[in-house]
Amino acid sequence: MNTLKLYLHSMKVLLKSQMQYPFSFCLQTLAQIVMEAGEMLAVLLIVNRFQALNQWTGGDLLFFFGMMSISFYLTECFGRGITGNFAALIRSGNLDTFFLRPRGIMTQVLCHAIDPRRIGCIAVGVAALVLGCQQSQVQWNGMKIFLFTEAIFFGMLLILGLFLIEAVFAVHSVKSIELVNAVTYGGRSACQYPIDAYPGPLRVLFGTLAPFALVLQVPSAVILGKPLLGIDGVAAFLCPLSGLVFFVIMYFVFQKAMKFYRSTGS
C-alpha cells in the first residue's frame, strides 16, 4: 500500500516536471499521435486492399491493433522507468542513488520516470478499438469486459518483463539494444496482426517465448467471437496469465542482476 502511495506521489511530481515545458510536451504528443495514426492507417490500407486476412475482417484487425496499442503504450507511459533507457540509468550513476534509499530497487526504477506523451498513442489505440468494435459488431458483456481488462493488464506485465531483459543486459554491460528491441518493439509491430497470419517460427516466438499471442490475442479473439487456434472458454482466461509468469521470472532475474551490480559496481 505504501509502495503504491509512493508510486502515485512520484508520478505526480514527475508529471509536474514534464509540465515545466508545456509547448515541447504538446508538440511531442502531437508527433506521437501522427506516428501511431500512420500505423493504424497501414491496417486500414490492408483491409481496403484485401477485405480480410484469413478469417479476420477489417474490424477484427482494428480490434487487435487497438489492444496492442493500448497495452503497449500504457506500459510505456507508466512503466517508463523500465521501458526507458536503463543503460543510461547505470551510466549516469542514478542507479547508485536508488541503493542509498530504503526502498526496493524495482520500486524506485518504476518511480523515477513517466512518459505522459504516450497518451496520444493510447488515444489512437482506443479509437482503433472503438472502430473495430463497431465494424465487427462486438456484443460486450461482463465476461468480455473482464477478459479485456485482464488481457490489457497482463499484457503490460509481459511488456515490462520483456524490457527487463534489456535492463539485465545493461547491468552486465552488454550492448544488446537491437537484439532485445526485436522482441519488444518488434513484438509490438508484429503482434498488431493476429499470429496465424505468420509462418511457424514467428508463431512459436510470439506464442511461447514472448507470448503476446497468448496474453493479448487469445482474449481478443474470444471477445470477437472467433477463438484463435481454437482456444476458448476457461483456457482463454488462463492464457493471459503467461504474462504474469513472464514478469515474475524476469523480476527475479532482475533482482539477481542487481546483486551482480553490487558486487562489480561502477
In the complex, the residues that contact another protein under the rule CB under 8 A are 2, 5-6, 9-10, 13-14, 16-18, 20, 93, 96-97, 99-103, 259, 262-265
- Measured CA to CA, the distance from residue 162 to residue 97 in angstroms comes to 24
Helices (H), the chain: 2-18, 22-50, 58-78, 80-83, 86-91, 94-99, 105-111, 119-136, 142-171, 177-183, 185-190, 200-204, 212, 218-224, 234-238, 241-264
Q: Give the distance, in angstroms, between the CA of residue 190 and the centroid of all CA atoms in the same chain.
A: 13
Between residues 95 and 131, which has the closer beta carbon with respect to another protein? Answer: 95
Shortest distance in whole angstroms from residue 263 CB to another protein = 5
**Between 99 and 185, CB nearer to another protein:** 99
Residues 207, 82: Cα–Cα separation, whole Å: 23
Q: Which is nearer to another protein, 12 or 145 (CB)?
A: 12
Least distance to another protein from the beta carbon of 100, Å? 5
Q: How far is the CB of 265 from another protein (least distance, A)?
A: 4
Instruction: In angstroms, give the least distance from the CB of 111 to another protein.
Output: 9
**Cβ closer to another protein: 16 or 49?**
16
**Rounded least distance, CB 164 to another protein, Å:** 20
Identify whether the C-beta of residue 95 lies closer than 8 Å to the C-beta of residue 265.
no
| 22-50 helix and 119-136 helix, angle to the nearest 10 degrees | 30
Task: Please say which residue, 233 or 265, places its beta carbon nearer to another protein.
Answer: 265
